[in-house]
Structure 1
């Protein structure tokens, strides 16, 4: 069972006391030490009772916790039978190693992203520590991992530039352009969407509006001599009303979008909402009507198109008209 933070803080204080083997430690001595140290750093101002502290001493001795060699005698009080012991030296348990073994599958999914050159070495060192008996050999948890997309080699230099606030000269070729152009950008954030990496940055020539750049369209990077331009954009809320990564320079207001979804697809939308703002307006045997509050962008339209005939845009009219034009173009390709 995981150890909560407050209990672990008490364990550290008890450990520090018991390492001082030159004096006997009674339960009252330990309580006083905990109250003097623990209450200064812990929000719980109710104090620690003797029962709690005795429970801590018991738990510290458990193999699933720290397997601490704690003993008690009337002459020596509470003490470590091994004077060299400390919970800071506690080796990983077999349960810890099994958890790490399963975690390796998640770590390995990051190997191809270039964010940490030492990650492979870390994984190999962890694998050498796996328990041989009873260890899980097959993954029981698999995450969808992005393949080796073009452009992931730029993740590490972009991450470094963002952290060090370094403007960059970027050779960038949009999908519809035949040649790359040179652009000076002030990098702010790396983000994934739909299995693809994007850089969010300010373009020196285009002003403060945040631009996004797909990493697979970057053709080269170098440092720029211009002064870095910080942003006051709060990226913790930037995507609250977005699907995808794009906020249009025009028409960027949040819209109340009403959708009707046929009964066959309705359970998928109810159990996996299109967006956290989703609200069910009505529901019957034929389908459901929902509302979402989003900025309309191309990523949203692509998501709605993926529903095919099972979805109808009810409002706003601008999105309804846009979707109708896109669907008419799609139908025309089959004539």
Structure 2
């Protein structure tokens, strides 16, 4: 058997083993790894199972699809219903496979991520290419989270906050967003009573909580997409409820002005006059970073409080680089 380097090949092996009627208790991890002929981690195996559920079992709970039993010191896995088989050429896989041959349509990074997490090979013979970050950490959560959103399932997430502090939150998942090469899950946090976002690379694990009734975003007056998009007034993914929307004026050098004319900083961008634009947003870290990325080629003109804020950051940088 060839080594199963790709997820789709691993799914086929799992499916064959889990449906094997001659092994009523299923297969233990060591036997599965031997059959795969690939040194994958237990964590990768667990993520593969979550992806299988998302792709082929419409987001059912683990215990409604698989049997997991301990015999001695080993844990054995099998299907509850050994007559069921997965179809790697199912609609989801087929759709992603078709998308994998398309480039330059404005969704290239998303297609790449779907292909990577689903184990679909992208065509090597493309006409249009682009720069993209490969092997994004935490990408394996994309399909499971997507499935939970579609099936309106409340989840409990274990993740790392700042300073490597582990926390657990209950989330009603609503939306997935890719920004600056990273994926984020957005959902209602009943403890904090507001929308909360978690970056994929900080997620350790999650569990579906069927005993908790799912609350739609609309029940909290929140919309994703369209004219009332929750994030329409911000750059990036950070929104502070108490931070008002401001009209910010920015002056650019000739070269950078041409760049922002062809690639606006935000949908609200308007040209005020030569080399100057305005945007109406709620200031956040991502906006600061975007403006500072232009270096000396961008200057915040107003409002005064935001200009002073950027000035403080620049002065702090100067202090950092002093000998």
TM-score range, shorter chain: 0.5 to 0.7
Of 190-199 and 267-276, the range deviating more from structure 2: 267-276
Q: Distance in 2 between matches of 1:212 and 1:277?
A: 23
Asked if structure 1 preserves the Cα contact closer than 8 Å seen for 2:100 and 2:111, the reply is no
What displacement does 1:113 show?
4.2
Aligned residues: 214
Asked if structure 1 preserves the Cα contact closer than 8 Å seen for 2:113 and 2:139, the reply is no
Q: Distance in 1 between matches of 2:136 and 2:277?
A: 35
Asked if structure 1 preserves the Cα contact closer than 8 Å seen for 2:100 and 2:112, the reply is no
- Aligned match of 2:146: 159
Given the alignment, which residue of 298, 302, 311 partners 1:324?
311
- Aligned match of 2:233: 241
Asked if structure 2 preserves the Cα contact closer than 8 Å seen for 1:166 and 1:228, the reply is yes
- Aligned match of 1:103: 102
- In structure 1, list runs of 5 or more residues that go unmatched: 1-98, 128-136
Q: 3-state SS of the aligned residue for 1:265?
A: helix
Q: CA-to-partner distance for each residue in 1:161-213, whole Å, 9 max, x for gaps?
A: 11111111101112x22221111111100110011000011112100x21111
What displacement does 1:109 show?
2.3
Asked if structure 2 preserves the Cα contact closer than 8 Å seen for 1:112 and 1:148, the reply is no
TM-score by length of 2: 0.61
Q: 3-state SS of the aligned residue for 1:323?
A: helix
- Aligned match of 2:271: 280
Asked if structure 2 preserves the Cα contact closer than 8 Å seen for 1:189 and 1:200, the reply is yes
Answering whether residue 226 of structure 2 is matched by residue 223 of structure 1, we say: no
Which structure ranks higher in relative contact order (CA pairs < 8 Å, sequence separation ≥ 6)? 2
Given the alignment, which residue of 175, 178, 181 partners 1:195?
181
- Aligned match of 2:242: 250
Q: CA-to-partner distance for each residue in 1:87-123, whole Å, 9 max, x for gaps?
A: xxxxxxxxxxxx9995389697245542x46x45xx7
Q: 3-state SS of the aligned residue for 2:144?
A: helix
Superposed CA RMSD in Å reads 2.5
Q: CA-to-partner distance for each residue in 1:210-239, whole Å, 9 max, x for gaps?
A: 111101011111112322222111111223
Asked if structure 2 preserves the Cα contact closer than 8 Å seen for 1:259 and 1:314, the reply is yes
Q: 3-state SS of the aligned residue for 2:271?
A: strand
Structure with bigger gyration radius? 1
Q: Distance in 2 between matches of 1:306 and 1:100?
A: 33
Answering whether residue 286 of structure 2 is matched by residue 299 of structure 1, we say: yes
Q: Distance in 2 between matches of 1:108 and 1:168?
A: 25
Given the alignment, which residue of 134, 142, 158 partners 1:147?
134
Q: Distance in 1 between matches of 2:288 and 2:172?
A: 29
Answering whether residue 321 of structure 2 is matched by residue 334 of structure 1, we say: yes
Q: 1:108 to 1:234 in 2, by over 3 A?
A: closer
Q: Distance in 1 between matches of 2:113 and 2:173?
A: 22
Q: 3-state SS of the aligned residue for 2:233?
A: coil
Q: 1:162 to 1:328 in 2, by over 3 A?
A: same
Asked if structure 1 preserves the Cα contact closer than 8 Å seen for 2:103 and 2:126, the reply is no
Q: Distance in 2 between matches of 1:303 and 1:101?
A: 30
Q: Distance in 1 between matches of 2:321 and 2:163?
A: 27
- In structure 2, list runs of 5 or more residues that go unmatched: 1-97
